Amino acid sequence: MLRKLKSITGMTMVELLITLLLTGIISAAMFKVYVNQHHAWIQQDNVIEMQQNARAAIDELTRQLRMSGYDIPSSLDAFDAYNTNPDTIMIYYKIASCDAPIEHKMPKPSAELRCDGHDISCFYDGQFAYIFDPVTEVGEFFTISKVQTAAGHIQHNTDPLSQSYPLGSEVMSVEFVKFYIDNSDTAHPALMVHYPGMTPQVYAEDIDDLQFTYTLKNGVTVDTPVLKDDVRQISITLRARTPNPDNELLNNPYRYRTYQSKVYLRNLGT
């Protein structure tokens, strides 16, 4: 006798639709969580990059400013300040142990500089150097065309001097570096560094503002000092922003961080 088979009832259309609805709700919730987490990760990565750029920039500015005025001749200021909003600054300091006096008066402004008997190996072809007459306190920058280390002679054929310098004038390596903000790329403003004879380079990206204030020896703070020797402290305010916009921010799509540093100018008068 054949056994009677029981009929097995399948899923109804209503049950199938409910299953699909629940699956869709759960999938949508999981995707929303993933999107939120991914967005948070991207923004956190942007913030970390912004902080790294800002810290590198403020550290370099602080280091350079501490050097300003080091062992430079009286014809040079320790720095040049430009209240250009964002501000610009140019810093001057002597590179230690890189100098030599000339032992013969120059017969004409284009004549080579004869530092006979002195070590001039720290100088190099194409370098911007400085010559200074300590008697008249007159000096100027020029480009070295050729260094003859063995003879102790420095040539400047491509950049004649403005005058013939006397015996005892000193040739020295003076560093001067310019910092400013370049906003030509509106998507990525940058802190620029410019060394003489070189093309300006990006030092830190996504830096959109740079401000300096100068505290004088009488305690007054100004935006642009008249007498550089009266400055005792320079305050730096630097603002960085995230490299990529966050479209979820309503008023401004970027996040910002402001960093500040105060630098006591140890190479200026007390």
pLDDT tens for residues 247-260?
A: 778 788 999 999 99
Higher pLDDT, 156 or 44: 156
Q: Is 80 exceeded by the pLDDT of residue 233?
A: yes
- Arithmetic mean of pLDDT, 105-110: 95
Backbone angles phi, psi at 167, to 5 degrees: -55, 135
Q: Where does the pLDDT of residue 103 fall: very low under 50, low under 70, confident under 90, or very high at 90 and above?
A: very high
Q: Is 80 exceeded by the pLDDT of residue 38?
A: no
Token reading at 45: 């990565």
Q: Can you give the pLDDT at residue 40?
A: 64
Q: Can you give the pLDDT at residue 1?
A: 47
Report the mean per-residue pLDDT for the chain. Answer: 90
pLDDT tens for residues 140-178?
A: 999 999 999 999 999 998 888 999 999 999 999 999 999
- Arithmetic mean of pLDDT, 210-231: 94
Q: Is 50 exceeded by the pLDDT of residue 36?
A: yes
Distance spanning both ends of the chain, measured CA to CA: 119
Token reading at 61: 């500015």
Q: Can you give the pLDDT at residue 14?
A: 74
Higher pLDDT, 10 or 21: 21
Longest dimension (CA), the chain: 134
- Arithmetic mean of pLDDT, 238-266: 91
pLDDT tens for residues 193-204?
A: 999 888 999 999
The percent of residues above 90 in pLDDT, for the chain, comes to 71
- Arithmetic mean of pLDDT, 43-58: 90
Contact partners, residue 263, CB within 8 Å, separation at least 6: 62, 65, 66, 233, 234, 235, 236
**Residue 190, Cβ density class (10 Å: 0-12 exposed, 13-18 middle, ≥19 buried):** buried
